[in-house]
Chain A
Amino acid sequence: MMMLRGLWKLTWIEIKIFLREPLGAFGTIGFPVLVFLAAGRVAGSWLSPSSLAASSLIRVGLPVFASLLIAISAVLSLVTIISIYREGGILKRLRATPLHPQTILTAHVIVKLTLTAVTLGLMVLAGKRYYPVGVHVPLFSFTIALLISTWSILSIGFLIASVVPTARFAQPIGAIILYPMIAISGLFAPVASLPPVLHALARVLPLTYAVPLLQGIWNGDAWSAHVGDVAALVVVFIVCTAISAKVFRWE
């Protein structure tokens, strides 16, 4: 009960603080939406309206790509905030209260998941004109799928946040590790066609499971078709959380 009250207060304050940071809010919410709109416009100028809806790249690839960008910006933002909080002694100050350390981190995860859902909502609104009215997308299931994916990638974020030496390096190191994950996630080329080393790497990264999950759910697959993907995302979460629990530095 006590912990819930603290968790709720901390989460709410962190959301307010995030919104007060103009660049942070723009970078995390605005960037994926802009990429989505720009890509949609470029593709729209190439393709006739009738083939636009038919093109699988635009219909499935682009929304999934933009969703991954949303997830990764949320994770990058988490890595940056955690390292700034550590460097400034904010994490340490919060620990010197009856608050459990897990509660502090949970609050940040909730903030990032909320942010992901909101950004997805904005993207859907902004992208409405590229999609003919008849196209039906299970938005609720897709949101859940994206939240599960984000949650799993967030655990990698904690792992990165555990090892980055200073706040200054957090954003670049995070970006260098996270963005290339999209390239080998199977979104652009099938994972099986990758060179053996990348193939092996792809198998342990969460995006490799997030991509088929998001694509499938967007196309209207049933959840039962993606139990394996969800299970893999959960395993990644458990492994990364267990490792970062060992190596995480509070100061």
Chain B
Amino acid sequence: MRPVIQVSGVRKTYGSTVAVDEVSFEVNDGEIFGLIGPNGAGKTTTMECIEGLRTPDRGTISVLGLDPFRHVYKLQDRIGVQLQQAQLQKRIKVWEAVDLWASLYRKKAIDAAHLLEQLGLTDKRNTWFMNLSGGQKQRLFIALALINDPEVVFLDELTTGLDPQSRRAIWDLVRGIRERGKTVFLTTHLMEEAERLCDRVAIIEHGRIIDIDSPQKLIDRHCPERTVVLVTSDPSAGERFRAIPVVESVICTGMRFTIRGRGDDLVAEVIHCLSENRIRVTEFRTILPNLEDVFLQLTGHSIRE
């Protein structure tokens, strides 16, 4: 099947600053694709080039077979957009915003009342934009992005600034969008968000894409280490653990052992060793690497720095 979004060799500079450099990737139909990286990495610029809001200096972009620059209005009709840090008129009511947006698209809008209900905004339909909470504003922006029943939905830093509870609620909404057969393209600097939500992610830094794959494959590829932490009073334990072939290091502080090694076999091997030698443990947990570790591995620094 033809990819929904094709980006090839895109470059965008602001003065002497290169915001996006030779970026290429594809987004498939029906997936949640995430562009992840720290602030200022070029995520928003890339997204806005794809949405037709900016013109790249070089490279080609195709969305739903359209050129976002030449067919910008035709494209806008078929996509839904949520922009980072956007605002609406302070004193516009929720229903007025939805009603206005519904009137802007050629396609018949979806049922606004039902949409507001799904997004938990029915009670707020007569509230001014300025009186909504951060989470309610974001849900309204999601409503505006979905009002034209778009084929592709763009979400830029959707949950930034929200409390964990609102964040989780919004993740469920985004999964709901995918379940309705839409393609979702999102950016985030939250690795947990990318890991829980995205089918595939592209890691971007300094305007360049470093790697693209599913979160799990990226972790397997770049961070194959596994760690087991356990507590035991068995005096022979340290020796036994060191004898396991896949184990690379064993650190012992008091009765607490931190065992590191590569590959999925590590955990099984440690459990096997415990049962074979009848080692009694009072605590046992495994630490798996996540996208955060992948980012650290690939760039040499944490995403928050």
| Chain A residues close to B by CB (< 8 Å) | 2, 5-6, 9-10, 13-14, 16-17, 20-21, 85, 88-90, 92-93, 95-100
Contact = CB atoms under 8 A, between A and B. Distances in A.
Given A13-B96, A96-B51, A89 B83 contact: yes
B104 interface: yes
Contact of B104 (A6, A21, A85): A6
A153 B85 CA distance: 32
Report whether over half of chain A's contact residues are helix, strand or loop; otherwise say mixed: helix
Given A13-B89, A13-B92, A98-B76, 7 more contacts: A2-B106, A9-B104, A10-B100, A17-B89, A21-B91, A90-B88, A93-B88
Interface string B151-166: 0000000000000000
B204 interface: no
Contact of B86 (A21, A93, A98): A93
Contact of A97 (B91, B92, B101, B128): B101
B92 A96 contact: no
Given A2-B106, A13-B100, A98-B105, A92 B86 contact: yes
Contacts of A5: 103
12 contacts: A9-B99, A9-B103, A9-B104, A10-B100, A13-B89, A92-B53, A92-B83, A96-B76, A97-B81, A98-B73, A98-B77, A98-B104
Contacts of B86: 88-90, 92-93
Contacts of A89: 83, 85-87
A96 B87 contact: no
A179 to B, nearest CB: 27
Given A90-B89, A100-B73, A95 B53 contact: yes
A97 B105 contact: yes
Nearest to B74: A98
A96 B87 CA distance: 13
Most buried by B among A5, A89, A96: A96
